[in-house]
């Protein structure tokens, strides 16, 4: 059978994506909240793209030079991280879930276009895009800013499409003969290569060898008036998008013809019983921990969250005040994997769990502990990896990064426990591309988490430059107390039998 795409299939796929997007938006219960989420994202994007250009107090020649030197590496890292994210999610997010796809099948091209459409509904992608836009705005200045940001936006689109091609190709390989082993060997080889580049001091040079340097020069051409280079860069990026979209659709067709080995192995796996835990609490923690680590998107997601931002920090040679942005990014991404709907892990098993002679408070505490473990492990590894080139921190820098780490995690856990009780959803997380909530709801979650953790990180980034470690501790205490108090309130809500019945009946449905 030919695998080439016809124009009729592409047209039908675009039409189907429009129908599915309309269906998803119409099924959203709180449309006003979703609109607010989209509005917040648009406002932050606009501010990131324009405001840094007018901060004349901070735009010294030295600072501008530093930002422009790092920008090519950041643009190259954007492509690499999107590739890793797409591979980890099995080709991208689902516009139509696997269960609904059985009854209402759509073409792989539609699935591919839907995954591209949902890419911005990801806090990591958003923060990276805002960072690139803000850095270009700061480095370029007001003159020719529209042209510079046009090039950055086109690069973001082209890099996202290219990453989707690699993601679908990787999923096709993973589903093929010995695909899981091949992908693990490739991942190990890339890890060894990254380590070798770091030891040789060529991480930045390797990222600069990507087309990112030419993209930055093309963007800055609008400021200098070199219109030949500028329009050539714009034309090249524009012309690259359609072929990349088409190649992604071909790779999606190839992946759709093969069975998902990871998911099938998970459903057929047998586990030997372990000795009984000493307490009911530890038994629940062990069960919840296994529920997280045996789910394909959780396992892949934590690897990506741990390595992706850490590699960016390592390649960008960030100092300790700049590293404070990473814990919030990783914690937000971890919550979006399952924390925002943390009771959905059991599915129908939630009915069995509620029949156990265990206090509801113990069940709640066990789930919170597992969520904390998940976020602490992923964000802690990111901090460790990205700090390898930052040198030894001073006492105030160490206090600032630790305070940021604890505060943003408690903020995320507090939000996750409240949202999980307020808006539970019945989802099947067995698919590697599943999300704990519908796409429209995830927009609001992403925006709120991004705004909260980013502003918190900026506060402690400023404190990291003040030589007084006590100040970071004093500022962190009210944040921690507030978040802990909201978790206690959420626990009290979970103890209410009417709330518990509503949540359990929803996630078991």
Q: Coil, helix or strand for 357?
A: coil
- How many C-beta atoms surround the C-beta of residue 454 within 10 A? 20
- Own/partner pairs, 60-68, CB within 8 angstroms, 24+ separation: 63/138, 64/138, 64/139, 64/141, 67/135, 67/138, 67/139, 68/139, 68/216, 68/220
Closest CA to 407 of 464, 328, 470: 328
- CA–CA separation, 135 vs 74, rounded Å? 9
Whether the pLDDT of residue 433 is over 80: the answer is: no
Whether the pLDDT of residue 5 is over 70: the answer is: no
Whether the pLDDT of residue 385 is over 70: the answer is: yes
Write down the mean pLDDT value for the chain: 81
- Please state, for a pLDDT cut of 70, what percent of the chain lies above it: 87
Residue whose pair of structure tokens reads 């934590």 in the numeric block: 302
Kindly tell me the number of DSSP H helices and DSSP E strands found in the chain. 22, 0
Q: What is the dihedral of CA 41, 79, 301, 382, to 10 degrees?
A: -90
Q: What is the pLDDT of residue 179?
A: 78
Cα distances (angstroms) measured from residue 47 to each of 53, 54, 148, 497: 10, 11, 15, 45
Q: What is the pLDDT of residues 338-367, one digit of tens each?
A: 888 888 887 777 888 888 888 888 999 999
Whether the pLDDT of residue 489 is over 90: the answer is: yes
- CA–CA separation, 141 vs 160, rounded Å? 26
- CA–CA separation, 509 vs 507, rounded Å? 5
Q: What is the pLDDT of residue 263?
A: 67
Residue 242 DSSP symbol: H
Q: How big is the CA angle at 483 (ends 481 and 484), to the nearest 5 degrees?
A: 65
pLDDT top residue among 266 and 364: 364
Q: Place 103 in a pLDDT band, splitting at 50, 70 and 90.
A: low
Over residues 465-483, the mean pLDDT reads 88
- How many C-beta atoms surround the C-beta of residue 320 within 10 A? 22
- Please state, for a pLDDT cut of 90, what percent of the chain lies above it: 12
Tally the residues of the chain.
509
- CA–CA separation, 386 vs 330, rounded Å? 12
Would you say the C-alpha torsion 305, 307, 308, 311 has a positive or negative sign?
positive
Q: Which of 82-86, 169-173, 354-358, 427-431 has the lowest mean pLDDT?
A: 427-431
Whether the pLDDT of residue 99 is over 80: the answer is: no
Q: What is the CA radius of gyration of the chain?
A: 23
pTM: 0.76
Maximum C-alpha span of the chain: 74
């Amino acid at each position: 059978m030919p695998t080439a795409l016809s124009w009729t299939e592409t047209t039908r796929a675009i039409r189907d994506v429009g129908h599915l997007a309309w269906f998803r938006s119409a099924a959203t219960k709180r449309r006003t909240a979703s609109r607010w989420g989209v509005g917040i994202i648009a406002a932050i994007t606009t501010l990131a793209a324009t405001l840094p250009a007018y901060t004349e107090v901070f735009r010294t020649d030295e600072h501008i030079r530093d930002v422009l030197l790092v920008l090519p590496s950041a643009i190259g890292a954007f492509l690499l991280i999107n590739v890793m994210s797409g591979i980890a999610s099995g080709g991208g997010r689902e516009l139509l879930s696997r269960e609904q796809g059985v009854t209402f099948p759509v073409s792989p091209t539609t699935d591919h276009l839907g995954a591209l459409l949902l890419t911005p509904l990801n806090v990591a992608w958003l923060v990276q895009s805002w960072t690139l836009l803000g850095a270009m705005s700061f480095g370029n200045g007001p003159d020719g800013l529209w042209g510079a940001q046009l090039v950055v936006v086109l690069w973001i689109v082209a890099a996202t499409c290219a990453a989707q091609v690699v993601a679908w190709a990787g999923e096709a390989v993973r589903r093929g003969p010995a695909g899981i082993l091949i992908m693990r060997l490739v991942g190990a080889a890339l890890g060894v290569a990254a380590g070798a580049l770091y030891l040789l001091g060529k991480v930045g040079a390797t990222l600069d060898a990507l087309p990112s340097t030419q993209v930055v020069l093309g963007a800055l051409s609008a400021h200098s008036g070199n219109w030949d280079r500028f329009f050539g860069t714009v034309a090249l990026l524009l012309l690259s998008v359609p072929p990349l979209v088409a190649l992604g659709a071909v790779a999606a067709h190839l992946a759709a013809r093969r069975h998902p080995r990871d998911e099938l192995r998970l459903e057929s796996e047998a586990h030997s019983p372990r000795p009984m835990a000493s307490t009911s609490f530890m038994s629940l923690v062990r069960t919840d921990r296994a529920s997280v680590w045996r789910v394909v998107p959780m396992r892949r997601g934590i690897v990506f969250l741990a390595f992706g931002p850490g590699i960016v920090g390592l390649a960008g040679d960030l100092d300790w005040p700049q590293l404070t942005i990473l814990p919030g990014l990783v914690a937000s991404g971890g919550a979006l994997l399952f924390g925002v709907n943390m009771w959905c892990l059991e599915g129908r098993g939630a009915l069995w769990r509620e029949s156990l002679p265990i206090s509801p408070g113990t069940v709640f505490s066990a789930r919170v502990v597992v969520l904390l473990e998940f976020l602490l492990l992923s964000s802690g590894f990111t901090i460790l990896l990205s700090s390898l080139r930052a040198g030894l921190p001073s006492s105030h820098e160490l206090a600032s990064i630790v305070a940021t780490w604890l505060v943003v995690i408690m903020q995320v856990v507090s939000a996750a426990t409240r949202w999980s009780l307020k808006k539970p959803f019945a989802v099947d997380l067995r698919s590697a591309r599943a999300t704990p909530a519908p796409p429209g709801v995830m927009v609001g979650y992403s925006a709120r988490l991004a705004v909260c953790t980013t502003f918190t990180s900026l506060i402690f980034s400023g404190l990291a430059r003040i030589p007084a470690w006590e100040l970071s501790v004093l500022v962190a205490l009210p944040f921690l107390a507030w978040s802990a108090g909201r978790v206690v309130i959420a626990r009290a809500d979970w103890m209410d039998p009417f709330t518990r019945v509503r949540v359990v009946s929803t996630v078991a449905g």
